[in-house]
Structure 1
Amino acid sequence: MTPMGIRISDRISAIAESATLAVDAKAKALKAAGRPVIGFGAGEPDFATPDYIVQAAREAAQQSRYHRYTPVAGLPELRTAVAAKTLRDSGYSVEASQVLITNGGKQAVYNTFATLLDPGDEVLLVAPYWTTYPEAVRLAGGVPVEVQTDETTGYLASVDQLEAARTERTKVLLFVSPSNPSGAVYPGEQVAAIGSWAAEHGLWVVTDEIYEHLVYGEHRNVSIATATPDLADRVVVLNGVAKTYAMTGWRVGWLIGPPDVVKAASNLQSHATSNVSNVAQVAALAAVSGDLSAVAEMRTAFDRRRQTILDMLRAIDGVVCPTPGGAFYAYPQVKGLLGRSLRGRTATTSAELATLILDEVEVAVVPGEAFGTPGYLRLSYALGDADLAEGIGRIQKLVADS
């Protein structure tokens, strides 16, 4: 019998708040109180959603057919457009029936793990990882198994590392490229090798491709679904409009998978949320059906900021920062700052260092503890150029003056 004083279930009590959203909320609260805080916490483009997408939403809001329930799995025209967009962008051919439209990428993540995992099933999770992944695995009854990487390999996991972590309970490999939080992009040959290894051992692969268009320099995004055709019946692709089209608040994502997985995940969604907002779905339809010119403009700006933040971080004594090939994050190793006196204060962990930086120079960053790798910080460079330079400049001065 449950004790009368216990109000929250063990399952939910064990879930941690999203560290990135918590840091962003704290930064925004401090700014609202009049403090000149600069936030590097949220993975959110600072650009407005392109006008043609907003206009499509305006027009949809005035059509009565979008004021009613629509199919749980998504508007048929959007599912068709997502299938076409997937073929265009990654060369992966799927039917519209293999697409489930979700309330943002997070629901796609949860729906997938809830559909695939039974209690005790293990999921290989390359660290550093996005904060939501292990929590979604645990909520589904699975067990996240961390595969540690660091800056010496550019945060890339090898087949040997994955094989060393595999057990008889391993069911899923979560594969992410480009990566949040590290910005790592796997070369095509490594993507194919990992996909072949997973297929050989009968594993499912869940691949999050939300940053597919944000790659820089010589880096190219290669979908593991395309690189390894043998995975076709055991791969689930996660994606959405949030990062590519500056639509984080619109909450439209999707999962693509085998028909039985999509049907089961749709059944789950029918009880959890029903259909995604129709107005947001129509906006997403305009986004994925349009060209990528607005995306190219944003990518150019992100690349410029990437170079700026790298140069400025590397100028700080005690900071080591590999070059991110994609997404919009820098993930510096900051162990050289731990144990050092900074304005009379000493941080012994990256979590303490993040607090010290916020207190002393009013710059919000996310500590590596949130991503499974203490001793690091994540800084999003999806903010204005002036704020970026000012924020890193404050950290430079904090270290230089100490």
Structure 2
Amino acid sequence: MRIEDMIAKKVAQMPPSGIRKFFDVANEIGDVISLGVGEPDFDTPWHVREEGIYSLEKGKTVYSANAGLLELRQEICRYMQRRFDLIYSPTKQCLVTVGGSEGIDLAIRTLIETGEEVLIPEPSFVSYKPCAVLAGGVPVPIPTREEDDFKLTAHELEKAITPKTKILILPFPNNPTGAIMEREDLEAIAKVLRDKNIIVISDEIYAELTYGGEHVSIAHIEGMYERTVILSGFSKAYSMTGWRLGYAVGPAPIISMMIKVHQFAIMCAPTTSQYAGIEAMRSGDEDVRKMREAYDQRRRVMLDGFRSMGLSCFEPKGAFYVFPCIKRMGMTSEEFCEKLLMDQRVVVVPGTAFGESGEGFVRASYAYSIEVIKEALARIEVFVKKHLK
């Protein structure tokens, strides 16, 4: 018996994350500046940490309900109404997950039968495609383009729909492009979907990190509330990545089945994190505002930096990434990132890590201090001037 032959083919054939490769190399080299990690550089706000600590001191370390602490679900639903004018029942339409990533997996596994298709606008977060494959689904990429501000257009969506289409992933604000979908864009998407049996999984983890306007959820568009599962979490807005806390809200029949899968696979999200999450939802709006203002300043510095060195760069209006075009360099995205790392000790991520349509682009995160960003940009400019064609 060969152990390798016992591994499921869909797992063995799955490529590793295109992001991790560069971190592994960077860890072996000194003097590296990384713009590669999609993680806030802020500490979790102290009052949130304190609530987690206090829950431990009080011995609140037992399992919660499978769906999460009722008090947290109530706060999540109040937040959804307060911020996005969406009303959900904390007992029937809300589930607390182990980060937003578990929510992606749960939603897809709950909905997909073998052979059904999952539409995925790309470039986008690396987990959607593997989760679709592991659930027995067929991922169908829909390329988005710089000339469309990396938005999903109704025309491209309609072209991609087949009788096997079951799910549309809507990943906006987008990682890696920073693109957002505005109300008129969502209304056009909704018009395509209203007469079709397609569920939307709207990943809104970056909803609080939008610049120049308020985030609009597709669930707020007429006819979409009943067919949309919203996934979000605490990692990005509240700088709580290591707490592994997320949530899903949506139609009660879907949420109840997601809870069933979650019940057997996970049991419940970490109790300590849930108590911290209650405090974040209840009293964290000002923390979010301050962090968003800091990201906005960094966004402008990084955008101006790439443009001034001669690289075109679409203006991101959400998340904390820029997605400059490096086609003038005469290199693939992978080559650019490898050579930049070895030559100038700066890590950025090739656009192809987020789908084939990311070729010719790289992702740089501005979840770093202004000082780090400026030093990284100075190094990148040296590299660009040396190789620009």
TM superposition score category, shorter chain reference: over 0.9
8 Å Cα contact 2:95-2:255 kept in structure 1: yes
2:364 maps to 1:365? no
Whether the aligned pair in 1 keeps the contact of 2:218 and 2:225 (CA below 8 Å) is no
Q: How far is 1:19 from its partner?
A: 2.8
* Residue number in structure 2 paired with 1:68: 62
Normalising by structure 2, we get a TM-score of 0.95
The answer to whether 1:83 aligns with 2:66 is no
Q: Which amino acid aligns with 2:218?
A: I
Q: Deviations over 1:132-190 (max 9, x none)?
A: 11111111111111111121111012101100111111111111221111111112111
- Counterparts of 2:329 and 2:313 in 1: how far apart (Å)? 13
Look up the match of 1:104. Answer: 99
Match of 1:59 among 54, 58, 71: 54
Q: Call closer, same or farther: CA 1:5–1:236 in 2, change over 3 Å.
A: closer
Shift of 1:195: 2.0
Q: Is the 8 A contact 2:238 2:284 kept in 1?
A: no
The answer to whether structure 1 residue 283 and structure 2 residue 276 are counterparts is yes
* 1:328-372, Cα deviation, whole Å (9 max, x unpaired): 00011111112xxxxxxxxx4211211111111000111011111
CA distance in 2 between partners of 1:16 and 1:267 (Å) = 29
1:83-123 superposed Cα distances (whole Å, 9 cap, x missing partner):
11111111111000211111101000000000010111111
2:376 matched residue in structure 1: 391
* Alpha-carbon distance in 1 for matches of 2:326, 2:146: 11
Matched, 1:23 2:15: no
Tell me the equivalent position of 1:350. Answer: 333
Identity rate of aligned residues, in percent? 33
Amino acid at match of 1:199: R
Alignment of 1:203 with 2:198, yes or no, is yes
CA distance in 1 between partners of 2:21 and 2:259 (Å):
30
Question: For the residues of structure 2 that align with 1:6 and 1:123, how far apart are their CA atoms?
Answer: 28
Tell me the residue number matched to 1:400: 385
- Secondary structure of 1:200's counterpart equals coil
Give 3-state SS (helix, strand or coil) of 2:232's partner. strand
Q: Give the distance between the partners of 2:276 and 2:82, measured in 1 at CA.
A: 19
2:313 maps to: 321
Distance 1:4 1:250, change over 3 A: closer
Give the distance between the partners of 2:381 and 2:375, measured in 1 at CA. 10
8 Å CA contact 1:57, 1:282 repeated in 2: yes
Matches within 5 A, 1:376-387: 376-387=361-372
Aligned to 1:344: none
Contact kept in structure 1, 2:52 and 2:272, CA below 8 Å: yes
Contact 1:177–1:211 (8 Å) recurs in 2: yes
User: Which structure 1 residue ranges, 4+ long, deviate > 4 Å from structure 2?
Assistant: 2-5
Q: Distance in 1 between matches of 2:182 and 2:226?
A: 23
User: Out of 102, 110, 113, which is 1:115 matched to?
Assistant: 110
- Match among 108, 129, 142 for residue 134 of structure 1: 129
Contact 2:179 2:318 (8 Å CA) reproduced: yes
Which stretch of the first structure deviates more once superposed, 188-197 or 82-91? 188-197
The Cα shift of 1:204 comes to 0.6
Q: Distance in 2 between matches of 1:244 and 1:282?
A: 17
> 2:326 aligns to what?
334
The 3-state SS of whatever aligns with 2:95 is strand
Contact 1:241 1:253 survives alignment (8 Å): yes
- How far did 1:4 drift? 5.8
For 2:22, give the aligned amino acid: V
Aligned position for 1:12: 11
Q: Which residue of 2 aligns with 1:165?
A: 160
Q: Which residue among 227, 230, 249 is the counterpart of 1:256?
A: 249
Q: Distance in 2 between matches of 1:211 and 1:265?
A: 22
State the shift of 1:200 in Å.
2.2
Report how many aligned residue pairs link the two structures. Answer: 384
Query: Residue deviations 1:178-221, cap 9 Å, x none?
Result: 1111111112111122123212223111101111111112x331
Distance 1:18 1:83 in 2: 33
Aligned counterparts of 1:5 and 1:335: Cα–Cα separation in 2: 39
Q: Secondary structure at the match of 2:224?
A: helix
| Distance change >3 Å, CA 397–CA 326, structure 1 → 2 | same
Aligned residue for 1:147, secondary structure, equals strand
Structure 1: distance between partners of 2:171 and 2:84: 14
- The answer (yes or no) to whether the contact 1:21–1:42 under 8 Å persists in 2 is no
Structure of higher RCO (CA pairs closer than 8 Å, 6+ residues apart): 2
Counterpart-to-counterpart distance in 2, 1:19 and 1:250: 24
CA distance in 1 between partners of 2:193 and 2:111 (Å): 16
Give the Å deviation of 1:20. 2.9
Alignment partner of 2:380: what SS?
A: helix
Q: Name the amino acid aligned to 2:329.
A: L
- CA drift at 1:290: 1.4
Which whole-Å deviations, capped at 9, do the CAs of 1:293-342 have from their partners, x for residues lacking one?
1111111111111111111101223x22110011100011111112xxxx
Distance of aligned partners of 1:23 and 1:401 in 2 relative to their CA distance in 1, 3 Å threshold: closer
Question: How far apart in 1 are the matches of 2:56 and 2:339?
Answer: 46
Compute the displacement of 1:15 (Å): 2.5
SS of structure 1 residue aligned to 2:67: coil
Aligned partner of residue 401 in structure 1, secondary structure: helix
- 1:25, distance to aligned residue in structure 2 (A): 4.9
Separation of aligned partners in 2, 1:128 and 1:388? 23
Instruction: Tell me the amino acid that sits aligned with residue 311 of structure 1.
Output: D
